[in-house]
Chain A
Amino acid sequence: MKLLLALLLSIPLLAQAPAATPAPVTAPAPAAATPTPPTEDWLTGSIDLGYRFSSVGGSNDDYRSVVNLGSGPRLFGLDFTIIDPKKRLFDRLDVRAYNWGGDPYNTVHVNASKRGIYDFNFDYRDIAYFNFLPSFADPLLGSGIVLDENSYNTRRRMSDFQLDLLPGKRIMPYLAYGRDSGQGTGITTFETGNNEYPVSDSMFDKTDNYRAGVHLEFNRWHVTLEQGGTTLREDQQAYMSGFNAGNNTAPFLGQQLDLTGLTQAYGIRGDSIYTKGLFTASPVSWLDLYGQFLYSRPETNVSYNQLDYGSFVVLSSLLFYTGEQALEFAETKEPHTTGSFGFELRPLKRVRVIESLMTDRLHTAAAGLLTDMILSPASVAQTTPLPLSGMLVMNYNQEQVDVLLDVTRKLMLRGGYRYVWGDAEAPAALIAGVGLESSELRQNVGLAGVTFRVTRKLSANLDFEGASTSHAYFRTSLYNYQKMRARARYQVTSKLALQASFSLLDNQNPSPTINYDFLSRQNSLSATWTPGKRVSVLGEYTRSTLRSNINYLEPEVLVPELSLYRDDAHTASGLVDLALPGYSGLAPRLAFGGSLFISSGSRPTSYYQPLARLSVPLHKNLSWNSEYRFYGYAEAFYQYEGFRAHILQTGIKLSR
């Protein structure tokens, strides 16, 4: 990737030669009466370089899980555009790269195009994923051991290339390639013999996605056909050597359970072919048609190998053993078909009818063999071959009709109906002793909406869904629910604009053993005020509340309980941007503001991110930029996870 960046950085240098020669006139001079487009530089852009200082107090692991910005020299941003006056390889090349030089989020985007010939896009992202939160999974915290047994220190890298040929023509072929990969280490748990042992883990996965297709675009219809495929490679290994007492440190029937050696490896290989067919058509002025057919068939093959030594017990037979070897081979296929069809009908000037039908069908089938050998000093090795089979069936269907009525130029009313139905089948938990469990989905949804544009300065819209359900897949699925969103905008004066929004979801499942009562609300208000040319102010405030109650049976005592979850959050953000008194035609700018988040309820949390930014122009094309940002994070129930970080970054920005 560094090589690629170096290559991209060198493009402006290589491209200097043609600019030295006078640009040829490529088009006849326009008539004197017509305007003349201004000439542009062949190269424009900017580079923003600097240094970041960071100081962290409190939990560094939590800081890395949430913010993860470090100290050091950085390329904060680079963007440039080259316009080739001779239009040889490209008409225009745009490159944007941000946060290079050790930052956790690196991005590059390149676009090169030659009008009517090609359009090429490349996108690359490298995102660090560090997650170590003791509050998440630390069964040993009571013993003073601070450890997250599900932690990660990985990077994910995504690359996407797309080449569109003959853009703007009637027939446009395209080719694309994408890669998504992840690599890193972490801590996972090895569960065996009535205990779980935190062990180190190394992970690697890579998915390559190849696709090609063609767009056929004509005035009254369009078809897109695409054929693609993916390949997956995933390797995961967990190793351990030495004594590991696991999470259950109490002796079991007088015997200490422990792990002294482990080798565990997953080798997963997969591939998929997929097909996409899309069409739109407008056969007559009052009818538009849409349809799509999507098919994919991913499959995976896995080989699993496990060898562990220590002191373990099989609970069901109270057999103590000292080692185990497991081997597994399995194959899974998942054909997945989706189709949709719809139309927009305009039978009358004021009326639009939108109808859509959709079906989504998926069937997972897996088969394999697991051979498990138990090694015990007291008896001969016991080998158990266990055939594995897994399956999941989903059939989802949806039909929806909406009628839109333009009552006046300013008022539109919408009403509709959606019927959702389907069924699903999945293996039950092993402990259930039932092979499969199945469920159905039957939902009637009423839809309504209003769009009201009182004037160009004041507008509002309201969206409502209300559903009655007779069957749902899960206890927490949408059941008898009302969903509403409302939004209004008001341009009070040329200097002040206000916006308010409100959303609500109320979901109830009154079944006696479920009693699910879910309510979430969100209210937002934002204002943009520009009292003068030198000042602008942006402020936003959001209040959100969430309530969720549901019945469950306390597992250890089998007593009915009510699970309660509450979240009551205030979020505010603001930014004041000031143009300071200038000199020599250059005006420094100062911006300050930031955001705060405070929540109470099931996990009271506060997170503050104030910032101040100063930009001082030193020359027409050179400025000195500095930014200070504070991150303050605290949790009432997990105080050891709080952190405070001061981040100062300063650098110069050179632009042309």
Chain B
Amino acid sequence: MSSSPQVVVAAVFLGWLCWPAGAQTPAPAGQASPPATPAYAGSEACGTCHEDIYNAFQKNPHKLVDTQKRRGFDGKACESCHGPGGKHAESADKKDILNPANMPPAEADRDCLKCHLNQPTHIGRIQSSHAKNEVSCTACHAIHRNGPNGLVPRNMAAINEQCASCHTGVWAEFQRPYKHRLPEAAMSCVDCHNPHGSILRASRQTYAANEPGCFRCHGNLRGPFTFEHAPIRLEGCGACHEPHGSANPRMLTRAEVRYMCLECHANLPTAPGPIKNPPALGGVPPAFHDLFSPQFQNCTVCHMKIHGSYVSQDLLK
């Protein structure tokens, strides 16, 4: 009996966990006690009051829901997201209809995922930081907008503008002199990133199954090379390049090539310490180049095949 308080606390906690988070605020009547047999009004009935939205919706890709029996919402496209609207059609009370815009993002997303979960787009969703940070589908997709491209921008400048509206710091990096050509609208954020998530970090796109998306445009750097430069395969192009933009030539992460190379090729064996065994790759042995001589100040003058070589193990040709 001495553990009774803990049991009570545990039971209360479990009950709280099981109780929907939304129940803490007064729920709309339609949500709290749905009718035993939901009454659908049909899309045309919705259009009688919401004419602007209805008209805009006619060329929206979601209009397809009205004409397909596949999802079971034929003739009820509006209610496929907003829930049965029979009661709302009679009362015209906003409490009698679901409004995903007022729902917590996770709940609103579940509404979208009723149909969209089992689609290839969402294969990376489980690892996506958008999903984990509750950036809801409607943050990017305008559901009611007209036209086949109404859901989301397709024009590269508009895509970039949309991403930049949240990722302001990243867009600032594109104002640097050396960058990928996004400000010129020759590329867009989704060329490199999959906003729905990816198997790669930072939702980077993949190419040819499991290659980094960089090789979609830089096919000549893909190899495989007789002699690989290991960081490219092990850590990706970002080990040396800042793809969003840099003040350094070639979008490098350091101002001069030699300093970037020396950070790894430091001529220092790994001493006992936190890294004991095995050592870091590429650290040894001492090279003999005189870095005071301009001849050796840019490593890629000689090691020109820095992305990998077909001929030379030292990436000289």
Contacts and interface: CB of A to CB of B under 8 A. Distances in A.
Real binding pair: yes
A288 B106 CA distance: 14
B259 to A, nearest CB: 6
Contact of A298 (B185, B222, B264): B222
Contacts of B178: 65-66
Which size bracket describes the interface of B in this complex? 35 or more
A567 B17 CA distance: 47
Mostly, the B contact residues are: loop
A558 interface: yes
3 smallest beta-carbon distances between A and B, as pairs:
A207-B219, A105-B186, A542-B172
B168 A540 contact: yes
A565 B249 contact: no
Contact of B134 (A221, A440, A451): A451
B310 A558 contact: no
A623 interface: no
15 contacts: A107-B185, A109-B154, A215-B120, A218-B118, A232-B222, A280-B118, A295-B209, A334-B223, A337-B210, A394-B233, A451-B105, A474-B282, A514-B280, A552-B263, A571-B172
A202 interface: no
Interface string A551-579: 11111101010010101010101000000
B40 interface: no
A474 B122 contact: no
B219 A542 contact: no
Interface stretch (B1-9, B77-85, B90-98, B267-275): B267-275
A429 B203 CA distance: 33
Interface in B292-317: 292, 294-298, 300-302, 304, 310-311, 313-314, 316-317
A408 B48 contact: no
B106 A92 contact: no
A162 interface: no
A556 B288 contact: yes
B18 A350 contact: yes
Interface stretch (A46-54, A338-346, A584-592): A338-346
Contacts of A228: 208-209
Contact of B44 (A34, A338, A514): A34
Contacts of B235: 473-474, 477
Contacts of B71: 219
B160 to A, nearest CB: 13
Interface in B24-81: 24-25, 44, 47-48, 51, 54-55, 58-59, 64, 68, 70-71
A300 B173 CA distance: 36
Nearest to A160: B216
A333 B250 CA distance: 29
Contact of B209 (A205, A294, A558, A571): A294
A232 B24 CA distance: 60
A189 B210 CA distance: 33
A605 to B, nearest CB: 4
B295 A304 contact: no
B145 to A, nearest CB: 14
B11 interface: no
Interface string A54-72: 0000000000011000000
Given A31-B44, A205-B219, A451-B134, A294 B210 contact: yes
A127 B156 CA distance: 15
Nearest to B71: A219
B290, B291, B310: most-surrounded residue (chain A CB, <10 A):
B310
Given A158-B216, A360-B210, A342 B185 contact: no
Interface in B165-211: 166, 168-169, 171-173, 175-178, 181, 184-187, 199, 206-211
Contacts of A278: 120, 123
Nearest to B104: A409
B120 A354 contact: no
Nearest to B129: A463
A90 to B, nearest CB: 11
B247 A599 contact: yes
Interface of B: 14, 16-22, 24-25, 44, 47-48, 51, 54-55, 58-59, 64, 68, 70-71, 102, 104-106, 117-120, 122-123, 125-127, 129, 132-134, 148-149, 154-156, 166, 168-169, 171-173, 175-178, 181, 184-187, 199, 206-211, 216-220, 222-228, 230-231, 233-235, 239, 247-250, 254-257, 259, 262-275, 278-292, 294-298, 300-302, 304, 310-311, 313-314, 316-317
Nearest to A599: B247
Contacts of B302: 189, 191, 196
A485 to B, nearest CB: 9
Given A336-B210, A350-B20, 7 more contacts: A188-B304, A207-B220, A470-B274, A513-B269, A540-B168, A544-B169, A603-B255
A552 B259 CA distance: 10
B72 to A, nearest CB: 9
B312 to A, nearest CB: 9
B168 to A, nearest CB: 4
A421 to B, nearest CB: 13
A481 interface: no
Contacts of A470: 274-275
Interface string A5-35: 0000000000000000000000000110111
Contacts of B217: 156, 158, 180
A438 interface: yes
A141 to B, nearest CB: 7
Contact of B21 (A158, A168, A295, A408): A408
Contacts of A245: none
A655 interface: no
Given A408-B21, A510-B273, A431 B287 contact: yes
A98 to B, nearest CB: 6
Interface in A60-102: 65-66, 79, 92, 94, 96, 98-99
A344, A390, A633: most-surrounded residue (chain B CB, <10 A):
A390
Given A133-B249, A437-B281, A300 B310 contact: yes
A374 B296 CA distance: 25
Contacts of A296: 208-211
A512 B271 contact: yes
Mostly, the A contact residues are: strand
Interface in A263-304: 264, 266, 268, 270, 272, 274-276, 278, 280-282, 288, 290, 292, 294-296, 298-300, 302, 304
Contacts of A170: 70
A300 B294 contact: no
Contacts of B300: 137, 150
Nearest to A416: B132
Interface stretch (A375-383, A399-407, A614-622): A399-407
Contact of B313 (A38, A226, A427, A571): A427
Contacts of B292: 556
Contact of B226 (A224, A330, A414, A607): A330
B44, B149, B219, B268: most-surrounded residue (chain A CB, <10 A):
B219
A158 to B, nearest CB: 6
A94 B304 CA distance: 44
A228 to B, nearest CB: 6
Contact of A551 (B70, B155, B268): B268
Nearest to A348: B17
B271 A288 contact: no
A248 B294 CA distance: 10
Contact of A607 (B176, B187, B317): B176
A113 to B, nearest CB: 7
Given A105-B184, A107-B186, A349-B18, A429 B120 contact: no
Given A136-B298, A234-B220, A300-B223, A280 B228 contact: no
Contacts of A599: 247
B135 to A, nearest CB: 8
A474 B185 CA distance: 36
Given A99-B186, A228-B209, A555-B286, A349 B21 contact: yes
A247 B173 CA distance: 35
B118 A139 contact: no
Contacts of B48: 33-35
